[in-house]
Amino acid sequence: MPFPRRSPHQVRPTDPFLRWMVGPDSAADLVEDGENVAWLHAGSRPHPGWVTALGRNSAAMADLVCDLVARHEVTGYTVPEAAGAEVALRLGGEDPRDWCWWVREATPEPVGAAVNLAMDDPRILQLLSHSPSAYVLPGNERIVQWSGVEERGELAAVAGAVVERSGAWHLVSVCVHPDRRGAGLAAHPCRALVDAAYRAGASVVVLEMYSDNEPGRRLYQRLGFTEAARFRSCVLDPAVLLPF
């Protein structure tokens, strides 16, 4: 039986994460209480059967997530980090990941040492093999640009960008070769992609990272990004791998 295609945006119309990261037709099923909302994802991102909740009240969000879990085959959930313990107490789960979402305006930026890379450059995948958190890889149809830093013909740093349906540019798969970490190389492809976003007419650039990634935190703060939200993702199906 089809479910009504309501939107979480109707419940939280000023939420920036919803505005930039969630499509208006993203919910296959949705429950809300006027301030808190949870929805079953309609598509495959991050997984079929995934539930996301947003709001201010941890207990209320746990109630909403449990409602959807009781009615659907759910593989995992994402909730604000502050609600993670409450939801886990009710539902359990495995492989909890705390991550944060960052945002900044798209502005003209110095490209510096960065170069645009061919979409099929084999060095990109070779470099990303050093990153356990890189989940958008060459060949992904959502990628619009790869940028990198070359040293003596080798790829020392890389970053990619996808464009969300909102028009936001989303930095993904930022990685520096282990032998070159600590030299500030990641800043170059990130700045180049922020500049590309501006020239393409985007309003904002967003990214995600693990909350305990202190080198990444320092990097993105230097680049003008602001941490806008913290989340916890957890799997209910042990066969599912989190994408970040």
Q: Domain extents for the chain?
A: 8-99+231-235, 107-202
The listed CATH number (3.20.20.70, 2.60.40.10, 3.40.630.30, 3.40.50.1260) that belongs to domain 107-202: 3.40.630.30
SS3 16: helix
Return the pLDDT at 5: 57
Q: 229 - beta bridge partners?
A: 101
Task: Provide the CA 14 distance to its chain's centre, in angstroms.
Answer: 19
Handedness of CA 217, 171, 13, 71 (dihedral sign): negative
Return the pLDDT at 45: 58
pLDDT in tens, the chain (244 residues): 344 458 999 999 999 999 999 998 999 999 999 999 999 998 765 567 999 999 999 999 999 999 999 999 999 999 999 999 999 999 999 889 999 999 999 999 998 899 999 999 999 999 999 998 899 999 999 999 999 999 998 999 999 999 999 999 999 999 999 999 999 999 999 999 999 999 999 999 999 999 999 999 999 999 999 999 999 999 998 767 665 5
Residues 12 and 22 sit within 8 Å (Cβ to Cβ): no
